[in-house]
Structure formats: C-alpha cells, structure tokens
Structure 1
Amino acid sequence: MIAIGDYNRLKVSRKYKGGLLFETERGELFLPKIETPEGIGPGDEIEVFIYNKDKGELAATTVSPLARVNEFAALEVVDIQSFGAFLDWGIEKDLFLPNRRQTKPIQIGEKVVVRLVPDFEGQGIVADMDLEIYFEHDTSGLKEDREVALIVYGLSPLGFKVVVNKKYPGLVYRSEGYREPVIGDELSGYIAKIREDGKLDISLKKKGYAAVTDSKELLLEAIEKAGGFLPLHDKSDPELIKDKLGMSKKLFKKTAGTLYREGVIVIESGGLRLIK
C-alpha cells in the first residue's frame, strides 16, 4: 500500500509524455519529465514522494519536501482563501491548512508551525496548527545534555515553547537570558532536564566549561567589532547585555573573567579592552 505524504519505492509501469507512470492501488501516478532521472524506464524501481495534487488525485515527485506526514514543520503562508490557507512545503503543490485546523489568525508571509496529518477522508495530507495532541511523551530514548533540533512554536510567561527533534514538547526558560525568538525559528539546543510528564527543559548553551568556551568566542567577536573596546561591565544593565550579546549577565561576567585570566583582555571601569 502506498503511503501518502511520504516516500515510496515504486516500479515504473510505462513512459508517458517523457515522464513515468506507476501502477498503484490508487490508480496510475505520473512523474513529469523534468523530474525523471536519466536511464530510468519500465520495470525499474525509483523512490518518489507521493502527495495529493488535487482532491482525490495523487501525484509523485522526486523533489524532497520540507516535511512529511506525521512530522512538525515551520512553513510559510503563501495564500489565504475563504476556506483555508496554503503553505509552501518545498514542492509544486502547496500544502492545505483548513480553517478548522487553524488556532489563530494568520497572514501571508508569516511562518506557522504545523503538524502534517492525513485528512479526515484519508485521501491526502493537510496541515494542523493544534500541535499539543500530536506530541510524543515517551522520552526513554533521550538523554540529558544531548544536542537536539528545535522549532519555536509558541511563547509563554516562562519562556518559549519548542518542538524538539520534530517529536517532543520542550521549553527554553527566559531566565537563560537569550534574545526573544520568533515563531518558526529553527535552532539547536541541549536537553537540560527530562521531566516525568514527558516534557523537556531545553538550554541553548552547553553546560559548564563548554558554555563558557562558546561565549568566549562570541564576546571576543563583539569586542573586536567594537574596535577593541566594549563598553559593557559588571555594573551594566542585564537587559543591555542581553540585547548586545544574547547572553545573561551571569554568563557575561563569567566569560569576561575567563578571558581576563587568560590575558586576552583587561577589565576597565568602563568596559572590556582587548590586549593587542
């Protein structure tokens, strides 16, 4: 049985208009000439992505989409109609986001985070903005400190909500002092804590020495861009440090102290000066 919204390995039944046709239980699927690999003909097998081109009509492509069925993705809104919106997911046919699956008003050009799901009739794939019902909570295969891929999907008083590895719910706390992201931002981070309810606390920095090492590079770059003197110090406002460097005041002071002990900078009353 073919999997709609996913990759399938199909046997070519015949050539048609320079392209290829595949026989399936849902009828013939057409792969256009422009996407047909050289040297492929009847009897050969090829991996294609199958999607719903029109209602009840399926198509095949060798172009890789930005996401497939049962995955989360941040996709751009490219059109809005009275019955729903359409999202760019990297292939010719835009992905449909029905009105009933929208959780807030959206605009063309905006990125929205969605789950790709089968439609109610099982005839194709649609997008759904109601993410919470799709998260996995079995975190037995995860470990703390492991690097993970993140998609920002919401904000809360505590911080910003992220999809972790396209499967799990996570939260990055505001207390970490990083710049405020926007919905749809794709970041990398680290699992700081695995909670009993299956949710994950996420940090954007490695723990301990590794965090300072990364911050050293960032701080040195900022000093160099400022002409060798950066007017930030231990009396500077935490929000100013956060805005200029994207790190907390605590991490800034720790990093500056490390660079001072290494003889890279001198700490003056008005800021940090690079030793040439």
Structure 2
Amino acid sequence: MINIGRNNILEVKREKDFGFYLGDYGRDEVLLPKSMTENKKISIGDKIEVFVYRDSKDRPIATFKKPLAMVGDVAYLKVAYITNFGAFVDIGLDRDVFVPLKEQRFKLHKDSYYLFYIYLDKTGRIAATTDVDKYIILASDDNKEYKVGEEVVGQVYARGDNGTLLIAVESKYRGIILPNEYYTDVYPGTELKLRIKIIYEDGVIGLTPRKTRLSEREKIQEEILKYLRKNGGFMNFNDKSKPEDIKATFNTSKNYFKMALGGLMKEGKIEQNEEGTRLLEGRK
C-alpha cells in the first residue's frame, strides 16, 4: 500500500519518457516525474525512498523533496495564501496544503506562522488543522527531560478562557504560561523565547517569558530611564502607582516595577515623591 503524505520505500517498476512508475508489493503505482528526480541515477528494480502526495489534478505523485511536515506531524508552518473557502500552508513542495474553514480555530493571516496538525481528509488529500491540542504530548511520555531554569522556544497554539496560554515547546511538548506571567497581548502563532519556571506533577511544563529576576530588573530599569528621558525627565508613576497602570505602560508587574525603581534609586539615578518619579542623571 502506498501511503499518501508520508515517505515510502518503493521499487522502480518501469520507465517512461516523462518519469518512472514506482510500486510496492501490490498493484498500486505512483509516478516519479523526471523533473523531480533531482538528477539521481535511477534503474529498474531499484528501491528508493520518496514522499508521495497528490498534485493539482489529484494524481499521486512521488518526489525526492523533503517536506516540512508529513501526515501525523505537528509543525510550525507559514500561511501561503487565504481564500474565501480556506487557507493554504507551505510545506516545502510545489503544492500547498489546504486548511478548511472548519479547521481554523482562529483567524489566520497570510505570511504568518502557526502550529498545524497534518492529516488526510476523507478524499485522501493532505490537509491541515489548527486544532492541535490532542497531538501535543508530555515531554515525560517521550523520555525528554527538561530542567527548571532552562531556556526553550515554544509556540502559542491556543488561549484558555482564564487567559492561560497553551504552548507547544519545540512544537511538540505541552506547556502553559499563566496569566500573571505575561503583560502584553499574545496570540496563537506567536513564537516565544521562554524559561522553564516549574514542571508540574502531571508533566506539563510551566513557562514564563520573563528572564531571571536580575535580568528582568535590568530590562525594566532601562525602560523606565527611556520613558523618563522621553518625557522631560519626569513621570507620574512611582511605587504607589496602580498595578493596572504599570502593566499598561511598562508591560510588567508592580513587584518588578518597584524592584526596578529601588535599584535606580540606590544608584542615584532617580528620586520619588508623591507626584511621581524624577530623573537625576546629569545633575551635580
């Protein structure tokens, strides 16, 4: 049986001017066009590994090209174009993969990347869906070990009702970011550099986009100084400001903001009063 959407090891059965017909032990055959042989030397009786998909005329076609994803894979892929009846994603072949409207759990945008699960539809064509949650696995189930503090890359594939972000670490392993760990709008498809904060008992990886406490403080201090210089050396924020106001302006928590202010005060760069914070840089 020849498997559409996967690699197959097939025997070269016969040759035509336009290509080679490949088959397995059954009667099924698939064409390998000579334009897709990549100038490889091929002889009758050879067993070769090829990827099989359907062309624009719905005919099974073999190629030596390596796709970006195969049937059964979850992959971070680019949307090639959008139509009224669905979207198409690039998997590295001369034909893009269809994403039906019913398989889009959120709005897709051309040239943006998202996580997709690749499957065969009822007609035997390769298709994709953004409904990937049931295909994201626990690292422990794959004997993959992570450590708290380790830096990883993950893709956001959904957002829970409570604001929790569902993450696929390395496009594969189940992770989450709790609402109190991020302070900017994050949408499905966003790829983030993350730090492992905790590994829960059930194997889910708890993540944060924040750096270490010291690095985060230094980052916020730079943002505060930049804001002050831009606004004539004064801002109406201090360590008594409301958390929601701090979050809206500096994309951080009040605790981290206070920590950053304290560090700048110790360095003699700012001073605070009831009205706000003033820059002292350059003053004798």
Q: Report the TM-score range of the alignment, normalised by the length of the smaller protein.
A: 0.7 to 0.9
Relative to structure 1, the CA distance from residue 71 to residue 260 in structure 2 (aligned partners, 3 Å threshold; closer, same or farther) is same
- CA distance in 2 between partners of 1:31 and 1:235 (Å): 72
Q: After superposition, where does 1:171-210 map in structure 2 within 5 Å?
A: 171-210=176-215
Relative to structure 1, the CA distance from residue 90 to residue 41 in structure 2 (aligned partners, 3 Å threshold; closer, same or farther) is closer
- Cα deviation digits, residues 211-235 of structure 1 (max 9, x gap): 3234334444444444544442212
- Give the drift of 1:59: 5.5
For structure 2, the 5+ residue unaligned runs are: 24-28, 43-48
Relative to structure 1, the CA distance from residue 105 to residue 252 in structure 2 (aligned partners, 3 Å threshold; closer, same or farther) is closer
- Cα deviation digits, residues 216-265 of structure 1 (max 9, x gap): 344444444445444422122222221222111111111121222233x2
For structure 1, the 5+ residue unaligned runs are: none
- Give the drift of 1:77: 7.0
Relative to structure 1, the CA distance from residue 135 to residue 7 in structure 2 (aligned partners, 3 Å threshold; closer, same or farther) is same
Relative to structure 1, the CA distance from residue 226 to residue 188 in structure 2 (aligned partners, 3 Å threshold; closer, same or farther) is farther
Relative to structure 1, the CA distance from residue 262 to residue 31 in structure 2 (aligned partners, 3 Å threshold; closer, same or farther) is farther
Residue 263 of structure 2 corresponds to 258
TM-score computed with the length of structure 1 as normaliser: 0.72
Q: Name the % identity.
A: 27
Residue 42 of structure 1 corresponds to 41
Residue 134 of structure 1 corresponds to 135
- CA distance in 1 between partners of 2:212 and 2:229 (Å): 26
RMSD (Å), alpha carbons:
4.2
- Give the drift of 1:142: 1.5
- CA distance in 2 between partners of 1:254 and 1:97 (Å): 47
Rg larger in 1 or in 2?
2
1:273 and 2:275 are equivalent in the alignment: no
- Give the drift of 1:92: 4.2
Tell me the amino acid that sits aligned with residue 150 of structure 2. R
Tell me the amino acid that sits aligned with residue 152 of structure 1. V
- Give the drift of 1:192: 0.9
- Give the drift of 1:151: 1.5
Q: Residue 50 of structure 2 contacts residue 62 of structure 2 at CA under 8 Å; is this kept in 1?
A: no
The total of aligned residue pairs comes to 264
1:242 and 2:247 are equivalent in the alignment: yes
- Cα deviation digits, residues 181-218 of structure 1 (max 9, x gap): 12221111111111122222111112332332343344
TM-score computed with the length of structure 2 as normaliser: 0.71
